[in-house]
């Protein structure tokens, strides 16, 4: 299978997909991600806009109808959640190596 353009997920994409498990607009996403990452990831406006466009293109997130007519709100789709699940598995494998599960010494 050909590797997907967005995989493995970049830090930005990863955090956005995780943050959008609940519906949020762009700025709220940035705030949530800053909180989730304990202040280490602060996504800038252009990066956020581009990431949203990209994720929409692959239907990993979708717009949600809201009362706010000016700001678009998005949420991770079922497809996006599948991507997250696959990424979780991949990262867990890596983590288990860190923890010495493959018989080598712990890092």
Partner 1 sequence: MIKFKLFFDIEKEEKWLNHMLSKGWACTNVISGGFYTFKKTDDLEQVIRIDFQQDLKKEERSNYKQLYEDFGWQALKEKSYDGSYYWFKRKDGNDELFSDNDSQIAKYKRLMKHSSYWAILFFIWLMMFYSNDNFYPFNIKDAYFTPGLWDKEGFTFLFSFLFETPLAIIRFILPWLFFATFGMYVVTYFRYRKSLQQFIQ
Contacts to partner 1 by CB under 8 A: 10-12, 25-27, 30, 41-52, 70-72
Residue closer to partner 1 (CB basis): 51 or 83: 51
- Shortest Cβ 83–partner 1 spacing (Å): 17
- Shortest Cβ 13–partner 1 spacing (Å): 8
Residue closer to partner 1 (CB basis): 31 or 86: 31
Residue closer to partner 1 (CB basis): 5 or 104: 5
Q: How far apart are CA 13 and CA 20, in angstroms?
A: 11
Q: How far apart are CA 70 and CA 34, in angstroms?
A: 23
Query: Any idea what DSSP says for residue 47?
Result: H
Kind and range of the H or E run holding 74: strand 73-76
- Residue 63 neighbours by CB distance under 10 Å: 12
């Amino acid at each position: 299978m050909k590797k997907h353009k967005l995989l493995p997920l970049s830090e930005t994409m990863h955090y956005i997909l995780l943050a959008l498990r609940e519906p949020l607009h762009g700025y709220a996403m940035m705030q949530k991600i800053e909180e989730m990452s304990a202040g280490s990831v602060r996504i800038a406006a252009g990066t956020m806009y581009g990431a949203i466009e990209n994720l929409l293109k692959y239907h990993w997130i979708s717009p949600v109808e809201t009362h706010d007519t000016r700001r678009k709100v998005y949420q991770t789709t079922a497809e996006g959640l599948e991507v997250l699940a696959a990424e979780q598995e991949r990262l867990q494998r890596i983590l288990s190596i860190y923890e010495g599960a493959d018989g080598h010494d712990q890092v």
